[in-house]
Structure 1
């Protein structure tokens, strides 16, 4: 077979670096996006940021007080004076996004002047009264930990140094909830023999810890924790206290499973006596050390905000999550004069690509969010019970995009609505058939289950079969197993655990 050379023309999709960057930026969350931008800013000198990411951070005066004036006031005015500066990328912004208003180079200098004023004249003028309490807010003190709270009580006692050391040993063995998970015997076995510590001394130290505040600390089980609190609870009748102690020490499993008939038979009491003991137990805190936990709750910043307008619902991008970028004017002017290095040409192109892809990212998020709001108007007007079934393909066909693009946009992107904060994926879900031949959203069914269980009689709660029957009366064809699956996803206990006296 003879070998020959042939030319053939064909079309294929190539993922250019610009397209790869656009896809990567689209699937990033707000936090990941800002981390990506900070990395690019540190590597590319032709790109600069107009907005200050630390604008809302705490700034201190010379005397340690908090500066109440916004840190960006000094820097924003000069930045606005340089608008219209040449750079190419800022002029492409149509949505107030990453490539918004170009600013002058003096913005950063103005910010520096503002900070210097905080440490200089501003701090001296604010302390002219001569009084230490000048009314300015101070930094919040660090929270007190459980160990610090307990050791402060130990120092107020008249214990010997040896006893205080043993109490500190027990305190160090407590977990975040205030429980002593390690057996006291194991702690005693780890002690050096030359100290000659008796096991009874450790028991005395544990008893001292259990007598401290908060009540229930130092317990080795949930039953012991509740019993310690019941014994110290004031104003409880003796009979009720004894019954509550008997329940938590012997029948706590029955009490947790709401086996009230077994409890009444074992305690030989009526409903009223058991109800009073139940009220006492419910006043206890099963995690006494949790109030001293210093875990900071994470919060979500919305990407889009939905507001009611005259003609319906409107969607707006959240300006606080949109970084303002531009091409550095100094380097751009040097390149026009031909005085720059050849490497800056590639970095200039990368800066323009990033600004363009940022604008495209926020534009796509806005389009997808608006399309979701247009199809879920009943949800914004009436709540989750009015949610309609929606799939990714429906939004993709409407906007002329691929389903994978819609999936990237709706992942880790959040929408602030009058009903709360929701991820964009929340508005998509499966459906259940109705008797009329239509479809009902699974989200709406979950909301109905919450309403039904919230309005049920606590003495006679609704079973999964009964809930399925009530939903069927509303025209929704749903099986008992589906109701049980939705109820477990909503973290609603089964009927046996929702029953009360």
Structure 2
């Protein structure tokens, strides 16, 4: 084969490091962005917080010099005063004081039960059995494993049988919260009822229902319940009220794991009769390139290649962070302008909107709009919403217009909330009611939206 040289012209898309960083920063949530910024601050000495005084500044040039002088006087003891913190006193210069010690820690279910176990006089063996049962509880406080199965997993040399576990379980079920250690919903409700005064209206009937007829109550089969129990509407209503006040998840008040907070990126306010989007400045990292290092590198250009690269990296980060928030604001402004009626009247006035609509309006790609709305939050008078919440499919109305799925769900929720509990609306009845509003929706579509909102079907919403 004869070899030859050939010139070929082609185009190839290449993501520069700066563009890759810009895309990565855009898709991060505000909390993740703050963590990323802290990582860059530790790694790059040319970056610094812009709200911190530079080392080159002298104390006499700072505006807060008088305040610092007063603080120094207090620290030196000239004023003879002590600062108060959390009800206790400490010297202003006490560096060993940790303010986080005043922050209460959340107690887990396991810690709460072990604390109660420590107050009970038991043998070492019985205490070990109790610890074993506590470790087997799930997040709701239930014991998901049978005692026989649990005993079979214990080494034979310990000679532990299910009877000993049953004794320990009965003791555990006397601990707080009421219902802990239950093996079923019926047992959890029964344990809670047994701690209540027996003279309460409907108490005895409620106990009978949770022990023997909980399925009938769950299916709202009131006719069969009244016939089986030989009671009237008033008696059954009292028992149902008792059961409804119980907690099906006994350990729901104990939070397991880390609590995640949301910082809004955008706030919406009404100005001159229009709702407008504004950046939450508190969510923006305040960064700058260290001026002293920047001037030193400028005076010694070309002599330190590594630090010059760090300088360029710092400039990119500051620019990309600003570009990130500019993009989020541009997208949010377009969304708020399209959804003026939502901010004025609520969900029922939500307009249909898709990513392409916003992308075409502001001249960005759909993927960029998607990154700008994912895990980015908007705070307004109606609450806190993810920007993606304002996008939704549409259905045609009788007049030829369009109605968003969010608005239809709001109509369905409103109808269910205002319905007669004794005669709740079926999916067909809701579809007919929407048709009268000019919104043509099939019954199966109503059922799909109702299930998405976790609204029970008509037979489970019926009450006495």
TM-score (normalised: structure 1)? 0.79
- 1:258-407 aligned at under 5 Å gives the runs 258-338=220-300, 340-407=303-370
| Distance in 2, Cα, partners of 1:392 & 1:294 | 36
| Distance in 2, Cα, partners of 1:404 & 1:148 | 46
Deviation at 1:135, TM superposition (A): 10
Find 1:492's aligned residue among 447, 455, 459. 455
Aligned equivalent of 1:444: 407
- 1:29-40 aligned at under 5 Å gives the runs 29-40=29-40
Deviations 1:60-115 (A, max 9, x none): xxxxxxxxxxxxxxx4xx35997xxxxxxxxxxxxxxxxxxxx99x99xx9xx99x
Relative to 1, partners in 2 of residues 1:331 and 1:484: Cα closer, same or farther, differing over 3 Å? Answer: same
Aligned equivalent of 1:20: 20
Deviation at 1:156, TM superposition (A): 4.0
Question: Retained in 2: the 8 A contact 1:376–1:387?
Answer: yes
Deviation at 1:456, TM superposition (A): 0.7
Deviations 1:149-195 (A, max 9, x none): 44444444455555444444433433332222222223444555565
| Distance in 1, Cα, partners of 2:109 & 2:316 | 52
Within the alignment, does 1:474 sit opposite 2:437 as a pair? yes
Question: Retained in 2: the 8 A contact 1:46–1:347?
Answer: yes
Aligned residues, how many? 449
| Distance in 2, Cα, partners of 1:17 & 1:117 | 47
Relative to 1, partners in 2 of residues 1:480 and 1:164: Cα closer, same or farther, differing over 3 Å? Answer: same
- 1:58-69 aligned at under 5 Å gives the runs none
Secondary structure at the counterpart of residue 291 of structure 1: coil
Decide which moves more: 461-470 or 355-364.
355-364
| Distance in 1, Cα, partners of 2:6 & 2:120 | 96
Q: With a CA cutoff of 8 Å and minimum separation of 6, indicate the structure with the bigger relative contact order.
A: 1
| Distance in 1, Cα, partners of 2:89 & 2:309 | 55
| Distance in 2, Cα, partners of 1:424 & 1:470 | 30
| Distance in 2, Cα, partners of 1:289 & 1:202 | 21
Deviation at 1:317, TM superposition (A): 0.8
| Distance in 1, Cα, partners of 2:56 & 2:326 | 27
Aligned equivalent of 1:250: 212
Relative to 1, partners in 2 of residues 1:387 and 1:197: Cα closer, same or farther, differing over 3 Å? Answer: closer
Relative to 1, partners in 2 of residues 1:242 and 1:416: Cα closer, same or farther, differing over 3 Å? Answer: same
Question: Retained in 2: the 8 A contact 1:231–1:241?
Answer: no
Deviation at 1:275, TM superposition (A): 0.9
Relative to 1, partners in 2 of residues 1:499 and 1:12: Cα closer, same or farther, differing over 3 Å? Answer: same
Decide which moves more: 338-347 or 318-327.
338-347
| Distance in 2, Cα, partners of 1:167 & 1:361 | 54
Relative to 1, partners in 2 of residues 1:214 and 1:412: Cα closer, same or farther, differing over 3 Å? Answer: closer
Aligned equivalent of 1:434: 397
| Distance in 2, Cα, partners of 1:141 & 1:166 | 30
Aligned equivalent of 1:140: 103
Relative to 1, partners in 2 of residues 1:170 and 1:372: Cα closer, same or farther, differing over 3 Å? Answer: closer
Secondary structure at the counterpart of residue 447 of structure 1: helix
- 1:174-253 aligned at under 5 Å gives the runs 174-191=137-154, 199-237=162-200, 240-253=202-215
TM-score (normalised: structure 2)? 0.85
